[in-house]
Structure 1
Amino acid sequence: MSDPETLQVYDTRAADYAARNRDHLLQDPRLQSFIAACPAGGRVLDLGCGPGTSAQVMAKAGLQADAMDASGEMVALTNAQDGVTAWQATFCDLAQDAIYDGVWANFSLLHAPRQDLPLHLAAIKRSLKPKGAFYIALKLGKGEARDTLGRLYTYYEEDELKNLLKTAGFTVLDCSYGKGKGLDGKMARWISVATHG
């Protein structure tokens, strides 16, 4: 993600975002399932890590947790978490080959332009070891739009997302659905998909 307006929101509201999501992520069954899908002591990447709450949970579970985010303020918060190595980078900077046992992209790739998602999925696939776990969560819907805070979102319907994942070489294992209130205070429908490479 490199949309300047979106990054400005996350840099300005990093502490608010961290406070709002911390307790939920600490008890998220989807995150626990992702951790269970990775080998003990495995290396994982929290892609678009935000304040690093998920990465910290992974580290506490014994995984080697890397994290990256395009927001400098989010990276600073993440680097304050014990056991997590974080750096500032965009989705386009993911260029490693077969080094991760799992990649966690929880409501991050929804900020990528639609035309770029296939390229990002291909890079994630390359970064994973064979049968590595990949988790993605996005907001459901159509088109692209900015929320009331100015963040740019790309929305996907379930079939479109599953087709993109299959085309990139992922096997869809499980889907979850829900509704939640975001930083902008609005309710939105979402989908999460667990896969392996």
Structure 2
Amino acid sequence: MSDPETIRVYDSRAGEYARVTASDGPDATLQAFIAALPPGGRVLDLGCGPGLSAGHMAAAGLEVEAWDASAEMVALAAARPGVTARQAVFEDLQAEAAYDGVWANFSLLHAPRAAMPGHLAAIKRALKPAGLLHLGLKTGEGARRDALGRHYTYYTQDALFDLLRAAGLRPGPARHGADTGLDGVVAPWITVTAHA
């Protein structure tokens, strides 16, 4: 994510976002992701926000790197035990066969549509053979800003699966739901775990 307005929103509302997304433990999707990785596996939380998922993964014994474009989010993530956090954008991912898993939970939805194939290709390169990508996006068509000024790109399941396959990733079953976001709006979403 390199959209300056989106980053500004997250910098200014990092604490509020952390409160909205707080939980005592990993949800079922994160539990399944952790269970599918080798013990002590290396994971990149790409667009980690306040580091909630990164913290849960570290507590489960994984080696966790957490990246976010927002300096305020990185500060929150870095405070979680076992999490190594740094300020970085999606384009900074240059690693090859470095991670057992990449957790991109509602982060790549801030990237422009034209950039998504390149981001997915970089993730594929960064994953070890048989590595896992978790991807969460909002569903719909087009792109627009929310009431807070954050940029979103929306995807249908078919379009998402086509992008994953084009990057050399094998998508597994999708989960669909809807939740209230920081802007107070209920929005539909999709998550999928894809195999390298």
Q: TM-score, normalised by structure 2?
A: 0.99
The 5 A counterparts of 1:167-178 are 167-178=166-177
3-state SS of paired residue (2:35): helix
SS of the counterpart of 1:172? strand
SS in 1 for 2:23: helix
Aligned to 2:4: 4
- Whether 1:63 and 2:56 are equivalent positions in the alignment is no
Which digits, 9 at most, give the CA deviation of each residue in 1:95-148, with x for residues without a partner?
011010000000000000000000000000000000001100000000000000
| C-alpha distance in 2 between matches for 1:157 and 1:33 | 23
Unmatched segments (≥5 aa) in structure 1: none
**Offset at residue 43 of structure 1 (A):** 0.3
Q: Which residue of 2 aligns with 1:81?
A: 80
Amino acid at match of 2:77: T
Structure 2 gap ranges (5+) = none
CA RMSD in angstroms comes to: 0.8
Q: Could you say which residue in structure 2 is the equivalent of 1:126?
A: 125
1:6 partner letter: T
Q: Residue deviations 1:28-61, cap 9 Å, x none?
A: 1100111011100000000000000000000000
Q: TM-score, with normalisation over the residues of structure 1?
A: 0.98
1:23 counterpart SS class = coil
Instruction: Name the CA distance, whole Å, in 2 between partners of 1:49 and 1:90.
Output: 11
Number of residue equivalences: 196
Using the alignment, how far apart are the partners of 2:80 and 2:157 within structure 1?
Answer: 34
User: Secondary structure in 2 aligned to 1:169?
Assistant: coil
Q: Which runs of 4+ in 1 moved over 3 A?
A: none
Cα distance in 1, alignment partners of residues 194 and 173 from structure 2? 7
Secondary structure of the 2:148 match is coil
Indicate yes or no: 2:29 matched with 1:30: yes
| Percentage of pairs with the same residue | 59
Taking the aligned partners of 1:37 and 1:161, their CA distance within structure 2 comes to 22
Deviation at 1:27? Answer: 3.6
Q: Look up the match of 1:43.
A: 42
User: How far apart in 2 are the matches of 1:16 and 1:174?
Assistant: 32
The reply on whether 1:72 has 2:71 as its aligned counterpart is yes
Residue correspondence of structure 1 range 147-186 to structure 2 within 5 A: 147-186=146-185
Specify the alignment match of 1:193 in structure 2: 192
Q: State the alpha-carbon separation in 1 of the partners of residues 58 and 163 from structure 2.
A: 30
